[in-house]
Structure 1
Amino acid sequence: MRDLFGGGDIEALGDGAAVLRGFALREAKDILAAVVEVSAAAPFRHMTTPGGYRMSVAMTNCGRAGWVTDRRGYRYACDDPETGRAWPPMPPSFRDLAMRAAAAGGFDGFEPDSCLINRYEPGTRLSLHQDRDERDYAAPIVSVSLGLPAVFLFGGLQRSDRPRRVPLESGDVAVWGGPARLAFHGIMPLAEGHDPLTGRSRINLTFRRAL
């Protein structure tokens, strides 16, 4: 199936979920430049889970709220706990990309207020989890992959459901919502490699409506 919003093929992952192949590729350089600006104000950091586990993936946020985790639990916070200041504003280009991708995935009217930015290095991974810290689940999740390729794990509504392995290349955008909104998902350990724009890393932007 072709995407009429400016990207490549649309690969269905199930009811309410799809990967838009190459959707963000043409604007990757500009998006990554904006990530550098965001991380200058709110540096990447390795957060700690409530159980005391240091996450291997480095994270930061922009928008009205940012996703954080520490000994007190998983939650959204309007201020960066490391600086006490508000998270950097979400760049207009981020919001525009997320809205266009959501529409291409079948979810018109998406207006994200939070963008979690993850930086993966070779060997890092993200275990299966659900995005369920948002106040309601009516809005989809939009996840943009830039840099090194990764293998996306996309499962069902139960952790025990066997996840599908979905290769993601730089510029691919995954969108899931509706009946797939609470699907378990993750990233397999990142393989070694070098990308012309990101070097030995993968940058992932995940847009949500958190508040």
Structure 2
Amino acid sequence: MTQTLPPGIRHLPIYLDRASQERLLEAVRAIVAEAPLYIPAMPKTGKEMSVRMTNCGSLGWVTDKERGYRYQPTHPVTGRPWPDIPDMLFEIWRDTAGTDIEPEACLINYYDSSAKMGLHQDRDEQEFAAPVLSISLGDDCLFRVGGLKRSDPTTSLRLQSGDVVVIGGENRLAFHGVDRIYPGTSMLLKREGRINLTMRRVTPANKAIPGKV
């Protein structure tokens, strides 16, 4: 049965085949070797999140107790600039995002078997004309998406390794989250868990992707 998603939100099941997933995973491992995964903390309370994260791109999304949610050009632990976004991710963006606006940030979250992500909006960016593009690798998860208000009805769908979700258009600021991980549903990673890559444009767009007219 096909689920109806809010306008502007698209689910592309198994967009990446197994070989492409393995190629992207190798790129992620190279990023993590340069910019290690770390445990982020919530603003004000300092409560640790259940995911571990890192970034690639000219800007990366971070959060801590003292300064809250924000984008910055350096890793908060190592102080080094984030690694570049791999060409493969730019290719996926150009094929699926439906815009000439270039992404600047790719947040990489690792979910172990018990990790979750509460309903939230991606609203720390200055450019909402570009979508949020999400890529799943590893174990399945239960993804939930709603409307522009936290109280709006939600739709849940099970995401598999290789799936892409695009959140844009009139629902670019839709609430969304991950309710659970299904351990052992993929053999892609060396251990149980899920990697989620989320690409965004952060600053106001002023240039098109090279090669686009």
TM-score (norm 1): 0.90
* AA matched with 1:58: R
Residue among 8, 19, 22 paired with 1:16: 8
For residues 120-135 of structure 1, the aligned pairs below 5 Å read: 120-135=111-126
Residue among 26, 31, 34 paired with 1:33: 26
The number of residue pairs the alignment matches comes to 198
* AA matched with 1:56: S
Map of 1:81 onto structure 2: 76
Residue among 154, 166, 183 paired with 2:174: 183
Matched, 1:137 2:132: no
Gaps of 5+ in 1: 1-9
Tell me by how many angstroms 1:14 deviates: 1.9
RMSD over aligned Cα atoms: 1.4
Alpha-carbon distance in 2 for matches of 1:74, 1:159: 19
Change in Cα spacing, 1:194 to 1:18, as seen in structure 2 (3 Å) is: closer
Percent identity over the alignment is: 45
Map of 2:140 onto structure 1: 149
* AA matched with 2:115: T
Tell me by how many angstroms 1:193 deviates: 1.6
Gaps of 5+ in 2: 204-213
Map of 2:208 onto structure 1: none
**Per the alignment, in what secondary structure is the counterpart of residue 112 of structure 1?**
coil
Q: Is the 8 A contact 1:124 1:189 kept in 2?
A: yes
Matched, 1:58 2:49: no
Q: Is the 8 A contact 2:140 2:185 kept in 1?
A: no
Tell me by how many angstroms 1:40 deviates: 0.3
TM-score (norm 2): 0.89
* AA matched with 2:55: N
Q: Is the 8 A contact 1:63 1:114 kept in 2?
A: yes
Alpha-carbon distance in 1 for matches of 2:47, 2:144: 21
Q: Is the 8 A contact 2:140 2:159 kept in 1?
A: yes
Tell me by how many angstroms 1:24 deviates: 1.8
Alpha-carbon distance in 2 for matches of 1:111, 1:146: 23
Matched, 1:93 2:93: no
Map of 1:193 onto structure 2: 184
